Structure 1
Amino acid sequence: MKNIAYIENFDDWINGFTYSYPVKVRFSETDLFGHLNNTKVFVYFEEGRIEFFKEIGIMQQWLTSAGDGIPVTSDLQCNYLRQLFFDERLDVFVKINAIGKTSVDLHYMIKNHQGEICITGRGRMVQVHKKTGKPFEWDENMMEKLKSSIVSANI
């Protein structure tokens, strides 16, 4: 497997994923050559990330009018390992790699339905205050939900 800077042990890394979200490559996401446009991968990461945050109960807190924090992406990267084409069914895997006081480092893996890893990625999400735009610390409830998603992923 290709050497990817944010992955130390590829087998351990793969086994750490427990959450996945299905997507299908739409015709509008392909380019002139018939394969998935390289920018669309980040949309898949976003879809997977949002559904992951819903699953662990964090997204709901951001969406309430009473909540003070919102998530913003501070960086994203990916590695393309295999081309993808129109109508392929994929699974976007998401896991937490590290938790900071105001941020979370997420890792992504996209597999096709043959079980082949096609794309890997990582990115940092920062919770910022809705009004100030400044980093905003996780409250105790959110921190617990973030931590418990790592514990359940490493079982």
Structure 2
Amino acid sequence: MYKMTIEPRVSETDGVGHINNTVVPVWLEAGRNPLFKLFTPDHNFDHWKMIIINMNIDYESQIYFGIDVEIYTWVQKVGNTSLQLYEEVWQNDTLCAKGHTTYVNFNVEKQASERIPNDIRSELERHFYEVEKHGN
């Protein structure tokens, strides 16, 4: 599992007094930074590998300014060229959002998906989500 702490900003708070739903996908993406580094160590967009192909988010509870948020990212499945992530957003010991995101390992120059290399696959397997522990 990858973990990141986010400090909500005033500008992310909407007129109803909670963090706007459009902010959560951005926070989830921030939680994926270690994965981006794994696939593209130099963060050079000319060689970028991870292309998002699907994202689904369920909003469970409101999120508020002034209280840190924890972003948890697990690898749920690794295919030949793609991987699926399971992600959660927590604030004050409350699950606020959860989602699934699928990426494909993509070669920008060839404009084609590529097999996930074995060394990356091994690292991803260290972060597998265990249903027995978490219940989702």
TM-superposed deviation, 1:19: 2.9
TM-superposed deviation, 1:68: 5.4
Task: Tell me the residue number matched to 1:111.
Answer: 90
Task: Tell me the residue number matched to 1:146.
Answer: 124
Q: Provide the identity percentage.
A: 21
- Aligned pairs, how many? 129
For 1:73, give the aligned amino acid: I
TM-superposed deviation, 1:60: 4.6
CA distance in 2, matches of 1:43, 1:143: 25
CA distance in 1, matches of 2:124, 2:117: 11
Q: RMSD across aligned C-alpha pairs, in angstroms?
A: 2.1
For 2:22, give the aligned amino acid: T
Q: Does 1:134 align with 2:112?
A: yes
1:74/1:117 CA distance change after superposition, 3 Å? same
52, 57, 67: which one pairs with 1:73? Answer: 52
Could you state the TM-score of these two structures normalised by the residue count of structure 2? 0.84
Do the aligned residues in 2 keep the contact of 1:69 with 1:136 (CA within 8 Å)?
no
Do the aligned residues in 1 keep the contact of 2:7 with 2:68 (CA within 8 Å)?
yes
Structure 2 unpaired stretches of 5+: none
Do the aligned residues in 1 keep the contact of 2:38 with 2:120 (CA within 8 Å)?
no
CA distance in 2, matches of 1:119, 1:31: 17
Q: Does 1:25 align with 2:11?
A: no
Q: Which of structure 1's runs of 4+ aligned residues deviate more than 4 A?
A: none
Could you state the TM-score of these two structures normalised by the residue count of structure 1? 0.74
Structure 1 unpaired stretches of 5+: 1-17
